[in-house]
Amino acid sequence: MDFGICIPHYGKPIEIGRILEIAQRAETLGFDSVWVTDHLLVPQSMNIIYRDNMLEPLALLSHLAAVVTRVRLGTSVIILPYRSPIVVAKMLATIDQLSQGRVIMGTGAGWMEEEFAALNAPFKERGDYSDECLRIIREIWTHDTVTLHGQFHHYDDMKTSPPSVQPGGPPIWVGGNSARSRRRVAEWGDGWHASSLLASEMAPGCAHVRELWAQYNRQGEPVLSSRIALSLEGVSEEVTAYASRRPRSRITGSITAAVEQFGAYRELGLEHVVLELSTQSHDGTLATMEAFVERIRPQL
């Protein structure tokens, strides 16, 4: 099972050196990936960590491609209706070139209606729009020329570039915990990227993804992954004030308890777990990363 770190590029004062230090330390410690997340305009009245001091994820990911040279570079997740899928496909193919084939595209349909309205994005049709986005991105990554007459996009005989380094484009891990999101995994994705679900909560969804995978006659097995908050007794130091929308589920407690919970993910068949540490101080984040590598991962 691989492990990644969600880079804390939101919710705290923008200190580029510290943000990049997390990515560099993750690579040094032997983590397998670093991840960015996505929001663009958040209501002032909404007390969530994504409201303040949030760097744009694709711009940051492009910079990270030069800052770290081994780890995979992921989006957890890009909200599909917020940007043109043509622009997203081109940007991620470019980052795949810059990173020599290290990109993982995590995607989501979104949930914040006020943000959709500010961006003039289709909230009520976000499911259909996300489906069409994934179709467009797939086709751009796998064809030299593309034509589409869809519900939201129309073009004829358009040349695509650049190609991605990874054949067929970066893997697409579809986020979201709904049945429709899991259907989207089987139709357009390479894996499921759940959020804030413990292994016991993920189990029915994993079974559903595998069932849909077979129904769509997909080859191989879907990648199963999750983004989960981690807080360790005596190690982690949580300092931010965004308690009103903390993850529904998180791994907390002692080292022994954490090993047990990560082991449950392994038994479920997860291939990748992304640790969310953004509510912690900078020093607390580093301490949690080191404790995970030294005291938890060896027991898995």
pLDDT at 238: 81
* Highest mean pLDDT out of 44-48, 77-81, 246-250: 77-81
Mean pLDDT computed over 225-243: 86
With bands split at pLDDT 50, 70 and 90, how would you rate the model's confidence at 244?
very low
Q: Residue 245 above 70 pLDDT?
A: no
pLDDT at 100: 98
Q: Model confidence over 90-126: pLDDT tens digits?
A: 999 999 999 999 999 999 999 999 999 999 999 999 9
Task: Please give the mean pLDDT across all residues of the chain.
Answer: 96
pLDDT at 246: 55
Domain that holds residue 6: 2-299
Q: Residue 240 above 90 pLDDT?
A: no
Full 3-state SS string of the chain:
CEEEEECCCCCCCCCHHHHHHHHHHHHHHCCCEEEECCCCCCCCCCCCHHHCCCCCHHHHHHHHHHHCCCCEEEEEEEEHHHCCHHHHHHHHHHHHHHCCCCEEEEEECCCCHHHHHHCCCCCCCHHHHHHHHHHHHHHHHHCCEEEEECCCCEEEEEECCCCCCCCCCCCEEEECCCHHHHHHHHHHCCEEEEECCCHHHHHHHHHHHHHHHHHCCCCCCCEEEEEEEEEECCCCCECCCCHHHCCCCEEEECHHHHHHHHHHHHHHCCCEEEEECCCECHHHHHHHHHHHHHHHHHHC
Q: Model confidence over 180-201: pLDDT tens digits?
A: 999 999 999 999 999 999 999 9
Number of structural domains found in the chain: 1
pLDDT at 247: 56
pLDDT at 243: 46
pLDDT at 93: 98
What is the pTM (predicted TM-score) of this model?
A: 0.96
pLDDT at 249: 87
Q: Model confidence over 251-299: pLDDT tens digits?
A: 999 999 999 999 999 999 999 999 999 999 999 999 999 999 999 999 9
pLDDT at 242: 62
Q: What is the CATH number of the domain that holds 254?
A: 3.20.20.30
